[in-house]
Structure 1
Amino acid sequence: MSKRVRLIAKILLGIALYMLAVLASAAVVRAGEADPGRDTLWQVSTIDALLAGVYQGAVPMAELLRHGDLGLGTFDALDGEMVVLDGAVWRVRADGKATPVPADETTPFAQVTPFEADFSVTLEGVGSLAELAARLTAALPSPNMFYAVRAQGAFELVRTRSVPRQAEPYPPLKAVAASQPEFTLPATSGDIVGFYGPPFAKAAGVPGFHLHYLNAARDAGGHMLDVRFAGPVTFELDTTTALTLALPATPAFAAVDLAPDREAELKRVEQ
């Protein structure tokens, strides 16, 4: 082999080794990176639009579940409270009964995420929803992130509410909530699911903890209004660093006035 050929061979070998090193390095980086879709809160519409009476369904359940397996929300015409758990969707109607939801049902407002717990907190002796929220907030690494929440346990009492299906012209949510059906579930076991929103989440979502409940029999639940623990309960939390808003392409959303500050309305509705 001539000197020239040997030189060319060395150059080609060096290039090949360099490319292999680059590819290997890139593979390591990709393997170590978090999938951004796995830490995203995917939300349909905004809470202010829901408060203003935008109840027309915009996204079907089949599409919603492409973006997460845990979450909450409501349905077309405000027809009940939504619980998304383990990739299945449940509706708690105005009579307090929970039923599975078909894939073609639509939602005007919902939040979901692919739930993967990052840390857990075990609490006991909790005597109210306000106490639960305060103790969970104190356990958060930072109040400035979103967190998905799931807990399974036994409860001395869970108090919930739902909302009845509405007819057009839709009233604002505060008018619906003024006569909302409420339910008391004594000595119940089941799952709490929901989200913590940071203080800056207002207008888009719910600041603080927004929690829904589904009992172990999967036949009752709703939006949580109060809770008392029967023993220790472990809460799993998933730090969620991204928010994707899917805004409804509907005439109602396009026309609604979202300029007013509805923070006071939200507090009344959530209580």
Structure 2
Amino acid sequence: MITKQRYISVFAICLLLVFAGCAGLAPQNTVTQISTIDALLTGAYDGSMTCGELLKHGNLGIGTFDRLDGEMVMADGVVYQVRADGKVYAADKTLTTPFAAVCRFSPDRAVAFAPGATYEQVQAALDKAAPNTNLFCAIDITGTFSRMHTRSVPAQTKPYPPLAQVTSHQPEFVMENVSGRIVGFRSPAYVKGIGVPGYHLHFISEDRTQGGHILAFEMANGAGAVDVCDRFLLLLPGKDAMFGAADLSVDRAKELEAVEK
């Protein structure tokens, strides 16, 4: 028999679920991605979702902006834009994105890193903490870095060049003895063509003045957490003419490797 008190509790939970659904909030353990990485590689840079809408799907994530105007860092429910000048700007909620990946971060386990760890050693520690590489893994790290090497990308004008061409002339930044935050994802190998297999991480400094897409770093000290995600939601820009015209039949793995590294 259901008691009155238990009935009220169940009813309250149902209401919370209904309101969450009405608000369009994404469930836990879900990575939501806007468009595909191969579409971005072809030059499909027109934004299809506002930052305000994107925040309904998560509070941590990475991506870029309309016309490829810089690197996106989403941390604690705030969207930051690292432009080609290397400076960080608070992104207006009306700005749009052609490509982003976000989640509602809920840490499963903490991760410690050895002092002086390199990017590769940090990846190894994360892999040990979350060994199932067939699931998605959201990453949140806070630390001090003896060296942080990042890049950003400048806004493009039509006709948009392919991403590999843009990044061949990308602005790069080297920061020394900087404290800040790393956020991003480790994605399974089978997302090839859809997402970025392996690690895709962005950085923002503690004072919110510097950041970008991470190319390499050396960590003085730091700690982090991982959120293993077993759901993946792909939202395609169905009304975007550039996405519809993109040739997504080509294997762009080599282009992606050049762009990421």
Match for residue 121 of structure 2? 131
Match for residue 239 of structure 1? 228
Picking from 96, 102, 115, the partner of 2:92 is 102
The residue type paired with residue 163 of structure 1 is V
SS at structure 1 position matched to 2:125: helix
SS at structure 2 position matched to 1:90: strand
Cα deviation, residue 39, structure 1: 1.2
Picking from 21, 29, 43, the partner of 1:39 is 29
SS at structure 1 position matched to 2:140: strand
Whether the 8 Å contact between 2:82 and 2:89 is mirrored in structure 1 is yes
Give the whole-Å Cα distance in 1 for the aligned partners of 2:69 and 2:240: 18
Picking from 99, 103, 106, the partner of 1:116 is 106
Give the whole-Å Cα distance in 1 for the aligned partners of 2:147 and 2:204: 13
Give the whole-Å Cα distance in 2 for the aligned partners of 1:98 and 1:71: 16
TM-score for both structures, normalised by structure 1: 0.86
Give the whole-Å Cα distance in 2 for the aligned partners of 1:216 and 1:20: 51
Give the whole-Å Cα distance in 1 for the aligned partners of 2:103 and 2:35: 15
- Calculate the aligned-residue CA RMSD, in Å: 2.1
The residue type paired with residue 183 of structure 2 is V
Cα deviation, residue 126, structure 1: 4.2
Give the whole-Å Cα distance in 1 for the aligned partners of 2:107 and 2:131: 14
Structure showing the higher helix proportion among its residues: 1
Picking from 252, 258, 261, the partner of 2:251 is 261
Deviations 1:158-179, CA, capped at 9 Å, x for gaps: 1100000001000110001101
Whether the 8 Å contact between 2:130 and 2:228 is mirrored in structure 1 is no
Cα deviation, residue 38, structure 1: 1.3
Give the whole-Å Cα distance in 2 for the aligned partners of 1:58 and 1:259: 22
Give 5+ residue unaligned stretches, structure 1.
Answer: 1-16
Picking from 15, 39, 42, the partner of 1:52 is 42
- Counting matched residue pairs gives 248
Deviations 1:29-49, CA, capped at 9 Å, x for gaps: x89x9x971111011000111
Match for residue 22 of structure 2? none
Deviations 1:125-175, CA, capped at 9 Å, x for gaps: 344323322332233131111011001111111110000000100011000
SS at structure 1 position matched to 2:27: helix
Give the whole-Å Cα distance in 1 for the aligned partners of 2:118 and 2:192: 24
Match for residue 219 of structure 2? 229
Give the whole-Å Cα distance in 2 for the aligned partners of 1:161 and 1:87: 23
The answer to whether structure 1 residue 213 and structure 2 residue 203 are counterparts is yes
Deviations 1:72-105, CA, capped at 9 Å, x for gaps: 0000000000000111110001010001010100
Give 5+ residue unaligned stretches, structure 2.
Answer: 18-24
TM-score for both structures, normalised by structure 2: 0.90
Q: Aligned in 2, Cα 1:36/1:97: closer, same or farther, shift over 3 Å?
A: closer
The answer to whether structure 1 residue 169 and structure 2 residue 159 are counterparts is yes
- The worse-fitting range, judged by mean Cα deviation, of 254-263 and 136-145 is 136-145
Whether the 8 Å contact between 1:151 and 1:191 is mirrored in structure 2 is yes
